[in-house]
Amino acid sequence: MRHLLLTMLLLLCCGLLQTSLAVSDDDQEVRARRLFNALGCKACHQFGGDGGSLAPALDQIGSRMTREQIEQHLAAHAETRTRGFMPSYSTTPTDELKILSDFLYNNR
């Protein structure tokens, strides 16, 4: 009986841990939107009817570029740039750039 109780408790804890570690799609979108704003993307790019006009609009960019192309473009800006005016993302963690590229791709 005691062994069964411990097994049930262990299964319950694993289920709770798994649930708490899962990140919902809504959470990812909220995080991506925060990154988009924190990195100042709208200063130059239109998105959702808001933003600048110095650079191409990012609405529906997922229909013009693959997820990999978007991610590569952001990763290229992780290095110090000598040409162009898009800022470097050298201080932005790779996982955050992936979240942002997934978000942009999924807004098609």
Q: Give the pLDDT score at 45.
A: 94
- Gap between the Cα atoms of 88 and 62, Å rounded: 22
- Gap between the Cα atoms of 102 and 11, Å rounded: 33
Q: Give the pLDDT score at 2.
A: 55
pTM summary value: 0.70
What is the mean pLDDT, run by run of 10 residues, along the chain of 108 residues?
49 46 75 94 93 93 94 79 74 92 93
Q: Which token pair is 48?
A: 């959702």
Which candidate, 54, 51, 64, places its Cα nearest to that of 85? Answer: 54
Domain ranges of the chain: 60-108
Q: Which token pair is 10?
A: 């262990």
b/e for 68-86, b at 16 or more Cβ within 10 A?
A: eebbeebeebeeeeeeeeb
